[in-house]
Amino acid sequence: MHWAEKIAEEIIASNPQKEEYVCAAGISPSGSVHIGNFRDIATSFYVVKALQKMGKKARLLFSWDEFDRLRKVPSNIAKISENFDKYIGMPYAFIPDPHGVAASYAEYNEKEFEASLKELDIHPDFRYQAKEYTSGRYADRIVFALKKRLEIYDVLMKYKTQEANDGERENYYPLNVYCDCCKTDFTQVLSCSDDGETLTFRCKKCGQEKTVKVRDYNLIKLVWKVDWPMRWGVEGVDFEPGGIDHAAASGSYMVACDIAENVLGVKPPLFQGYGWLSIAGLGDMHSSTGNNITPAAVLKVYEPDMIRWLFAKYEPKASFSFNFDDTIIRHYSEFDKGLEAYKRGESDEFYTSVYDYALINGKNTRSKVPFGVLASVATVVDFRPEPVRQLLNKIDVEFTAQDEERLLRVKNWISDHQPSKMYKLLTQKNSAFYETLEDDKKAAVKKLHDYLLAEENVKEKEVQQFIYSIINNPELSKKENMAIQQQYFKAFYNLLIGQDAGPRLYLFLAAVDKAQYLHLLDF
């Protein structure tokens, strides 16, 4: 059984008569949303699909926490906008877009991520929290939280190591107030009425002191551990995932559950903690620092179905990486192989569900030319589709217009992440390198040249067998022969492309017109 189906069964068991189940996710648009954040929405997305597979009505709810404050300036924003730190303390939705193309800083980051969701064929029911708060939708809940502020304080203190303080308790208010003059939250609540209907605050930035009616003053936001359970109740949330840090014994989820049940009278949703994702060589990803790889960047090299497949394949608690090295070829190979088995009806129960959830067009999804094959030959013809088609036709591989999308991703991968794989045939013989070769390697070069010259149609398997026949020593072990092979292949690559390593040699020699390279082996 797929992990999403196990969660779906738990959801149904907890409330079997509910008409429509709500699976939630949420992200703060503190910067460009990174691919790690995508796990939040992907986890709920698959649970929704599992519920629907079981015949239940379910929807995906996604909240933009754009009413949160700017805490620090991301490094990438600091490079394009001077004095952006003047907006610290303001809601993301109130900050101008430094790129000058969106209505706000929040909207720029939101639209960027939403475009990727659309490409991934994920269409949530969006909530924009600045709009929700400023519309007055939560006014009753804010008033209620003020009336219950001492009870909320007592719950919070249960999860802290320090002792409760009577003075601190009396002056605790479970909300942040944005000043209507400077729009920042550098404010201090001085008092509130017993019924929670009015409060007085002072702004420490601009000096304003003001008494307001809570229901009319739309610049008040509940603190996170109260805001979260409040919205569970408002939206009727049945399931919501979160990072593994939230799932700790004293983490946000446990605290929010306590407040939900014992103060707000809300039934907490089922929760699933998920592991972190990483990008090789980049380290931890954080939107607020600008140190991230966005879903849009991943989509430049990974097809939408493949991204969905990776997130569906790994259980939420499992960590995995998007490595933009040769690992991508393995990912594509595994995906293609699994797709063929799925289409033939040979997948086991788990992988059948993985492909059911991952494929945008289901079993109508067409198999494509292997990513590794394209990477081996496309650079020779500058990734142009028609010459690529002609090259692949020589090795009996069909390349159609539907393969051009994958070809573009191969181009993006090599150009942006693996420039060393930009293989180009040398324009003249590498005589200086040839003279450094030992006699046995020079002899192998001549044998390969003569073989290719004599063959009317160079075939991949035949040239592979020939190369190994002139390199391998039957009296040596497999490990010893592999070490020898590396030295011979290094010689061939240097004579052909001027590098120590290169594409799959026998595929390359079979696909490329030998008239383009034979002279490079003729000594």
Instruction: List, as one string, the DSSP characters of 361-386.
Output: TGGGPPP---HHHHHHHGGGGTT-HH
pLDDT of residue 160: 87
- Alpha-carbon distance of 367 to 370, in angstroms, equals 9
What are the angstrom distances between the C-alpha of 474 and each of 159, 405, 469, 477?
69, 44, 9, 8
Residue by residue, DSSP assigns 480-521 as: HHHHHHHHHHHHHHHHHTSSS--S-HHHHHHHS-GGGTGGGG
Burial string for 38-63 (b: 16+ CB within 10 Å, else e) reads bbbbbbbbbbbbbbebeebebbbbbb
pLDDT tens-place values along the chain, 523 residues long: 999 999 999 999 999 999 999 999 999 999 999 898 899 999 999 999 999 999 999 999 999 999 999 999 998 899 999 899 999 999 999 999 999 999 999 999 999 999 999 999 999 999 999 999 999 999 999 999 999 999 999 999 999 877 778 889 999 999 999 999 999 999 999 999 999 999 999 999 999 999 999 999 999 999 999 999 999 999 999 999 998 877 777 788 999 999 999 999 999 999 999 988 877 644 444 444 444 689 999 999 999 999 999 999 999 999 888 888 888 999 999 999 999 999 999 999 999 999 999 999 999 999 999 999 999 999 989 999 999 999 999 889 999 999 999 999 999 999 999 998 999 999 999 999 999 999 999 999 999 999 999 988 888 899 999 999 999 988 889 888 899 999 999 999 999 999 999 988 988 999 888 999 999 999 9
Q: Which of 196, 198, 218 is nearest to 145 (CA)?
A: 196
- Alpha-carbon distance of 377 to 370, in angstroms, equals 11
Burial string for 446-474 (b: 16+ CB within 10 Å, else e) reads ebbbebbeeeeebbbeebbebbeeebbee
pLDDT of residue 292: 66
Structure tokens at 27: 């992200």
Compute the mean pLDDT over every residue in the chain, rounded to the nearest whole number: 93
- Residue 367: phi, psi to the nearest 5? -70, 145
pLDDT of residue 475: 86
Q: Which of 452, 444, 451 is nearest to 512 (CA)?
A: 452
Residue reference for tokens 């877009």: 97
- Alpha-carbon distance of 501 to 480, in angstroms, equals 19
Q: Is the CB of residue 188 less than 8 Å from the CB of residue 201?
A: yes
Domains and CATH numbers, the chain: 295-420 (1.10.10), 424-521 (1.10.10.350)
Burial string for 300-321 (b: 16+ CB within 10 Å, else e) reads bbbbbbbbbbbbbbbebeeeee
Residues 6+ apart with CB under 8 A from 11: 21, 23, 47, 51, 238, 239, 270
Given CA atoms 281, 287, 290, 294 in this order, what sign does their dihedral have?
Answer: positive
Q: Residue 241 pairs with which residues in a beta bridge? A: 272
pLDDT of residue 449: 96
Helix, strand, coil tally for the chain in percent (to 5): 50, 10, 35
Given CA atoms 426, 428, 432, 438 in this order, what sign does their dihedral have?
Answer: positive
pLDDT of residue 280: 64
Structure tokens at 284: 């931890």
The runs of H, that is alpha helices, within 174-272 are: 224-235, 252-259
pLDDT of residue 164: 76
pLDDT of residue 322: 85
Q: Is the CB of residue 377 less than 8 Å from the CB of residue 507?
A: yes
- Alpha-carbon distance of 433 to 449, in angstroms, equals 17
What are the angstrom distances between the C-alpha of 427 and each of 65, 437, 496?
57, 20, 9
